[in-house]
Structures are given as C-alpha cells and as structure tokens.
Chains A and B, each alone.
Chain A
Amino acid sequence: MSEVKATMDPKCDLVSFDFGKIRSLVWLVLILLVFSDKPQNIAGIVYGSYVKQDYAMVSLPSVILEPGIVGTSTLYMNSTSAMVSVGPLPSNSTEYSDSFTIVTGSTSGLHNDTHAKDGVCFQLIESGGGVNLIFDGYYGYSTDTDRTGSVKIFVNLYGNVTGETWHISLYNYTSSSYNEIGTFSSTSDAWGNFTVASGVFHFIDEGGSLRVGINQPDKDAAPASTDTFYTDYQEVRITYAKESYDYVLEVANQVAGAWKIRLSAYDQSNTIRLENCTIYFHNGGASRQIYINEGLYEQQVGNWYDLAASATDYIAVTVKANSTGASFIYVYLEILEPNTSIYIRYILTFVIT
C-alpha cells in the first residue's frame, strides 16, 4: 500500500500530474455547477399578470364631411377625408345704384346727377311735411354678376341737416319693416357712410331694388315741416367682395350629441408663395383655425369650436398668393367628444393653385 507514495517521486513529474490540484479543481467545478445559477434564477421571477381585454368594433362615423359650394371638394369613402382645391380669389364686383325714385316724402329739389365713380346720384332736399321720406334705389341687377363672396351694402350720403338727428334705415323685405343702419346729424356738409354686412339679402327684393328711409326723430316717425335734410349726393352701392371661399366643406353632425372640432395643420409644401391664407370655421360666429402669413404659419392649430347636435359647421378659406404654382396644406380635422379626451382625426388636404 505504501508503494503508491513511492510513485510520487519527483522524477516521475514528466509523466504524472499533481493529482491533488486536479482533485481540488474538479471539486471547485462541481461546487460552481451546483450553486452558480441560483441568484439569477431568483431575480425577477416574481411577478403578477393582469388581463386586459379589448373589444374593438368598426362603427360608422357620427360626423361626416360634405362638399362645399365653392372651390372643388373631393370626398373620399365614408366621407371622413377630403381634398379641397381652390385657386386665387377673383376680383371683387360692385353694383351701383343707377336710378332713384322718391316713394314718399316731399322734396324741394331733386335731380339726377352722374357721379363719376359711384354711379347715379341725386340731390335731395327734404324739408319735412309730415310724411316719411322714402326712396327706392334700383341698382344694376345684371344676370352675369358674380354674387358670391362677402356681400355688403353701402349707403353713402353727403350733406347737412338743420340740427336734428336723422335716422337712416333700410327696408327689410322679409320682416316688412325698416331696420336702422345709422344716424346723421351734421349741420355742415359731411359724409354719412353706412354699411350693412349681414343679412344683406333681406334688404334687396327680387326686382333688385333697395328702399332707404330717412326720418327723424326716429326711423318710423314723420319729420316736422321745419326739419330739413339736405344732401348733395347719395348713393347705394352693393359689393360682392371675394374675401374668402365660403365655404369649401361642411362638417355635418349626424347625431343628437354635440362635439367640438378644430383644425390642426401637420404638413405642407410650397406654402412660401402664400402671402395670406386663412382657413376658418363659421356658423354664426367664426373661428380662425389656420393662418399663414408671408409663407409662414402664424397659427397652426385652431381653438375648439362648437359643433352643435345635428348641426353643420362650415369651413371657409381666404387666400392670396404672390406667384403661380400649387401649395398643399395637410390638416387634421379633430372631432372631440365633449368633456373627454377622445377624439377622431380626419385628414383634409387643401390644394391652393
């Protein structure tokens, strides 16, 4: 048995090994194998899993787009996206009164006079007499006039009165009554300029006439015989100002619940040629949503605007370009469910040539 020790002779090193070290090494490997992976198995294996189940259903939209009355609007399937094309705004058109007739009232002098710029005017000296002074102004209602755009009526007077405040009014053919549009009380010659910018077509009858009332002490009163209203000129002018494409799209709410809507521009190309471009909502009031000035955004996202239950809001565009070409404005129409942050996005593309 002791012969084994004899084999540990150093002379044998070249053909034998340090078996003690090998044994230790094997034990070390064994220990490492057994224990090495335990810490990593412990870490991170304690967790809980909660289940969330989502049920998604395709639904038809409650708010849809509808085409506008100006420009070219293309609606895509489901009416949830659209492309609108508009060109430069055409020139404004203006129609002047071309004759006047005194309907009631006494005058001490009346003559037609051709005003170089503003069409037919006449001189009127009204000295009271117990009846209202009313005159009809007929303007050149030609069939080829483009009557789209922002319509305004201008009533301009130049003259003086004897000290009273005279009331200028327009006859409303819808309500069959006079609507006051301003007063005039200058005792020396001066212009009285009056403008009507809303409900214009209530004041123009189908035959193309306007009826102006000039009275005091109120619009429906009969002036005293001593009251004098003297005018050198008076004119009625109607302008159709192409200030905007009104409207290029409708946003129609098909349900009885209200929403809020806004526009948000998310991309664009070649807008540098746009001196001025405004995209806005209107329906009674108006809300500017996107505004480009000198080619740059001054407003890229609009404020929320009410879309009432079963109502329609309108999208209008004003544009002025300084060169030819095509500009693209890519916009989200965002439809917000009130009192939540749930919203729908429709993609609108505005092409401005």
Chain B
Amino acid sequence: MKESRTGVIRKRWLKVLTLLLTTTIISTVSASVYYSMYMEPTVIISQATVIFQVGDDWPTGSSMGTNSTYAALSLKAYPNATLTYEEPLNISNTDSIAHDVRLRHVSITPASGASVSNFAFINFTLNAVDFDYTVSGTTWDTPSDMSYQTLPATTEWALKIETKAVAGAIDGVTCTIVISLDVEE
C-alpha cells in the first residue's frame, strides 16, 4: 500500500514538530532530565585579603571589627562648615594580585524625616570616585553602586569622607549609614 506524497510530507512535518517540541521541553524544563555529578567542596577559613585598616584620621569613638572586615566610624558634621577626613579608613589589598572593589549603598537611617534636613551632605571618595549622600528637603538621596575599581596588589587606598550640616542644624542629630565594600575574588 503505497502512501501518498502528501501523507509522507505530513509525517515528516510531524517528526520535525515533535523534535522542536522536545527541544523546547528540554530547554525550559531541563531540570527534569538530568544526571548527577558530585562536587565535594572543602571550605577553609581564610583571612580576607582585602581588609579595612585604621587610617591616620581614625575618628574618636570608631571601632574596627575582628578580622578587619567590619568598621564602624563615628563622624561629626558641623553646621555651615565642611569637615573633611582625609584618611579615616583605609582599604588594604594584602594580596599579591589586584582585586576589584566598590562601595554599595545598603541603608541609611533615618532615610527621611525632619531630622534629615539638618544635614547637607556626607560624601565618600574612593580612588577619586565619589559616592555621595545628599539631602533633598527631608530625604536622603543615596548613591548608585560605585563601578568596580581595581585595587592593585599590596596597595592601600584611603577612603576620604566629607560631612556638612546646614546652617542652624540641631546639635546632636544623628544618622547611620551602612555601606558594603564589595570585593571580587
């Protein structure tokens, strides 16, 4: 029984469609078809190679965390005057290879409200790249993630900080900023 030419073509199309459907299923639900390989990670506690270091202008009342991977700085802001800390905190690459680093905003508290209007700005500068917090009315404008900067091997960079409160600012008003220093391995 000879099959008609139209029937053959239809069958071939069906095969192609079946294959395409299979491809789609594999690519979208690929987890359903898998095989297993074993990975056996060994985690070794290591000293971070890029660390914080106390700077020459380490502010009174600041603290450095254990292993130098956490730092809390206590800064002042004077009304109608710019206060500059040229070297409050250093970022040190103790490794023999370069690492890319950047600053990334995490949080600021309070982010808005009447007390915020006492501040004019708190600016950070790393490797001549600005990372600025400014005030618009009663709200902090936070910076975008800094682009990665290449910190050469065995090199230390100073983090510069400038603060300013507005004229007539209320003595004792505070804000807390949490910034992440991201380091590419």
B157: CB under 8 A from chain A?
Answer: no
**Cα A54 to Cα B51 with chains together (Å):** 17
Inter-chain contact A49/B73, CB cutoff 8 Å: no
A22: CB under 8 A from chain B?
Answer: yes
Q: A56 contacts which chain B residues (CB < 8 A)? A: 75-77, 119, 122, 163, 174-177
Q: A343 contacts which chain B residues (CB < 8 A)? A: 83-84, 86
Closest to A16 in B: B9
**Cα A344 to Cα B9 with chains together (Å):** 85
Q: B16 contacts which chain A residues (CB < 8 A)? A: 19, 22-23, 26
**Cα A17 to Cα B20 with chains together (Å):** 15
Inter-chain contact B79/A78, CB cutoff 8 Å: yes
Closest to B106 in A: A51
Interface digits, A322-353 against B, CB 8 Å rule (1 contact, 0 not)? 00000000000000000011111110000000
A268 to chain B, nearest CB (A): 20
Inter-chain contact B52/A52, CB cutoff 8 Å: yes
Q: A48 contacts which chain B residues (CB < 8 A)? A: 48, 50, 69, 182-183, 185
Chain A contact residues: helix, strand, loop or mixed: mixed
**Cα A342 to Cα B87 with chains together (Å):** 8
Inter-chain contact B179/A51, CB cutoff 8 Å: yes
B180 to chain A, nearest CB (A): 5
- A55 touching B174 in the complex, CB below 8 Å, given contacts A26-B19, A26-B23: yes
B167: CB under 8 A from chain A?
Answer: yes
Inter-chain contact B70/A344, CB cutoff 8 Å: no
**Cα A54 to Cα B171 with chains together (Å):** 18
Inter-chain contact B80/A76, CB cutoff 8 Å: yes
Chain B contact residues: helix, strand, loop or mixed: strand
Inter-chain contact B56/A81, CB cutoff 8 Å: no
Q: Which of B2, B27, B30, B76 has the most CB of A within 10 A?
A: B76
Inter-chain contact A15/B89, CB cutoff 8 Å: no
Q: A60 contacts which chain B residues (CB < 8 A)? A: 78-79, 171
**Cα A22 to Cα B155 with chains together (Å):** 57
Q: Which of B131-156 contact A (CB under 8 A)?
A: none
Inter-chain contact A80/B78, CB cutoff 8 Å: yes
**Cα A23 to Cα B19 with chains together (Å):** 8
For B179, give its contact among A17, A34, A52, A342 (CB under 8 Å). Answer: A52
B161 to chain A, nearest CB (A): 7
A4: CB under 8 A from chain B?
Answer: yes
Inter-chain contact A3/B2, CB cutoff 8 Å: yes
B74: CB under 8 A from chain A?
Answer: yes
Q: B184 contacts which chain A residues (CB < 8 A)? A: 44, 46-47
B111: CB under 8 A from chain A?
Answer: no
B97: CB under 8 A from chain A?
Answer: no
Inter-chain contact A78/B168, CB cutoff 8 Å: yes
A352 to chain B, nearest CB (A): 23
Inter-chain contact A59/B174, CB cutoff 8 Å: no
Q: B180 contacts which chain A residues (CB < 8 A)? A: 49-52
B169 to chain A, nearest CB (A): 5
For A12, give its contact among B5, B20, B74, B81 (CB under 8 Å). Answer: B5
- A58 touching B3 in the complex, CB below 8 Å, given contacts A23-B19, A26-B20, A53-B72: no
**Cα A56 to Cα B172 with chains together (Å):** 9
Q: B178 contacts which chain A residues (CB < 8 A)? A: 51-53
Residues of B within 8 A of A (CB): 2-3, 5, 8-9, 11-12, 15-16, 19-20, 23, 26-27, 30, 48, 50-52, 56-57, 59, 69-89, 104, 106, 118-119, 122, 161, 163, 165, 167-185
Extra contacts, 7 of them, besides A12-B5, A59-B76 (Cβ < 8 A), are: A51-B178, A52-B70, A55-B176, A57-B74, A78-B80, A341-B56, A344-B82
23 contacts between A and B (CB under 8 A): A7-B3, A7-B9, A7-B12, A23-B16, A26-B20, A48-B69, A51-B71, A53-B176, A54-B72, A55-B73, A56-B122, A56-B176, A57-B174, A58-B171, A59-B77, A77-B167, A78-B78, A78-B80, A81-B80, A342-B59, A345-B83, A345-B84, A346-B80
Residues of A within 8 A of B (CB): 3-4, 6-7, 12, 15-17, 19, 22-23, 26, 29-30, 33-34, 44, 46-61, 76-78, 80-81, 340-346
Closest 10 CB pairs of A and B: A7-B8, A341-B86, A77-B167, A78-B79, A80-B81, A46-B185, A50-B181, A345-B82, A59-B76, A56-B75
